[in-house]
Amino acid sequence: MPTRCSDSGRFRIRAAVPKGRLRAFIVRKMSAHKKNVGEAKTEPPGYRRPAPGTQPPYLHPAYASTRKRAPTQPLILLPHTLSEITGPVFGHGAVRAEDADLTKQHDGEPLGERIIVTGRVADEDGRAVANALVEIWQCNAAGRYRHQNDTHDAPLDPNFSGAGRVMTDVEGRYRFVTVKPGAYPWRNHHNAWRPAHIHLSLFGRAFVTRLVTQMYFPGDPLLPHDPIFNGTADEKARNRLVAQFDWDSTAPEHALGYRFDIVLRGRDATPMEK
């Protein structure tokens, strides 16, 4: 596993990057932004609420674990105050180049089908979300996670940890290299198998744009049977969780490319009431 340090007031940043530099990066970016907004008297606007069906519900009985974990009392509609429209800011110092290649984190190459995953992170207005941290985790090609609670009878791969991190560039693009994860059984119902998937966690600009999702693979026969995938009622929204095979990012003699674009909430048109 990569080394980390954790002793200062910053986020846990790898030791290779002096923390002062990351801090300077964040503060410099912010003063430029504040100069641009000038003497604005109104707070910046909040973020849009999801259209019906485009996000999964809390209670989805077909996914058994939701039954004892979904809230039963009504949710309280939360206005987006300064506490919600802000969120943690990560600098490029937070990731190293090798964090984006899950096939190069050990002495040997992991087993399985090498793949390249690329995509663009944008908001609902199509604007690039630049400098966004994307955290990635997955099981290996045999369908086994490197986790003490994964008891699936499939081999671990000494050359695969299954974790990666990458920052989006100024156009919101990201790219990582990995192996295609395997399907694996789970105990949700009789003969339940998760379709192959990669977990992605994103910090956009605000705490209310936070997104944890899963990327699936086109043509997976398990998709119609997976209660997690099918938890999202809107068919279009659901199918956007499936990556597309992509010639443009496919590397000759090396690896197939898959494209997975991600959309984070867009801003409300109207400024927050003051």
Partner 1 sequence: MSASATASQTVGPFFRIGLEPLYLADLAPTAAAKKKINFHGRVLDGDAQPVSDAILEIWQANADGRYLHPDDLRESPRDGFTGFGRVPTDAQGRFQFSTVKPGRVAGPNGKAQAPHLVVAIFMRGLLIHLLTRVYFPGDPANADDPILQLVPAARRATLIANAADGGLEWNVILQGEHETVFFDY
Catalytic residue IDs: 145, 184, 194, 197, 199
In contact, 177 and 206? CB cutoff 8 Å: no
Place of tokens 């290649």: 101
Among 105, 201, 249, 250, binds partner 1 (CB under 8 A): 201
What SS3 state is found at 199?
A: strand
Among 16, 24, 82, 251, binds partner 1 (CB under 8 A): 82
Nearest-approach distance from CB 174 to partner 1, in angstroms: 13
Nearer to partner 1, 210 or 250 (CB): 210
Q: Does 232 bind partner 1 (CB under 8 A)?
A: yes
Nearer to partner 1, 12 or 254 (CB): 12
x/- track of binding to partner 1 for residues 13-32 (CB under 8 A): ----------x--xx-xxx-
Nearer to partner 1, 11 or 245 (CB): 11
x/- track of binding to partner 1 for residues 180-199 (CB under 8 A): -----------------x-x
Output the six-digit token pair for 24. Answer: 């300077």
Binding residues for partner 1, total number by CB under 8 A: 104
Which residues does 12 contact at the CB level (< 8 Å), separation at least 6? 4, 5, 6
Touching partner 1, residues 244-273 (CB under 8 A): 262-266, 272-273
Which residues does 235 contact at the CB level (< 8 Å), separation at least 6? none
Which residues partner with 174 through β-bridges? 119
Among 8, 18, 158, 185, binds partner 1 (CB under 8 A): 8
- Helical (H) or strand (E) element with 20: helix 19-37
x/- track of binding to partner 1 for residues 41-70 (CB under 8 A): --xx---xxxx--xxxxx-x--x-xxxxxx
In contact, 161 and 106? CB cutoff 8 Å: yes
Output the six-digit token pair for 135. Answer: 């955290």
x/- track of binding to partner 1 for residues 143-182 (CB under 8 A): --xxx-xx----------xxxxx-----------------
Q: In what order do the strands lie in the sheet containing 133-137?
A: 163-167, 133-137, 197-203, 211-216
Burial class (CB in 10 A: 0-12, 13-18, 19+), 207: middle
Nearest-approach distance from CB 108 to partner 1, in angstroms: 19
